[in-house]
């Protein structure tokens, strides 16, 4: 289980296109990597996470999954 301080909520607004760049090392530590393991999200808008250990961009209904990696 992730620590309660393992995430940060901000009130930052992005008014135009942006690029997200990161290095990620997925180390399960005794549990399966899932959609609770993410790098960026906004409630009801977008969630960039690692569903089933693969990168996933979820854009909430009506769009749903817009990107899902084919491999880990």
Question: Per-residue pLDDT tens for 13-54?
Answer: 888 888 889 888 887 777 888 888 888 888 888 999 998 889
> What are residue 14's phi and psi, to 5 degrees?
-115, 115
Banded pLDDT at 10 (limits 50, 70, 90): confident
Lowest mean pLDDT among 4-13, 14-23, 53-62: 4-13
State residue 2's pLDDT score: 57
pLDDT at 1 over 60: no
């Amino acid at each position: 289980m992730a620590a309660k301080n393992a995430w940060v909520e901000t009130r930052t607004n992005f008014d135009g296109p942006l690029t997200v760049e990161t290095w990620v090392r997925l180390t399960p530590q005794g549990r399966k990597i899932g959609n609770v393991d993410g790098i960026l999200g906004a409630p009801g808008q977008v969630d960039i996470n690692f569903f089933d250990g693969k990168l996933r961009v979820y854009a909430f209904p009506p769009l749903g999954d817009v990107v899902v990696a084919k491999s880990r």
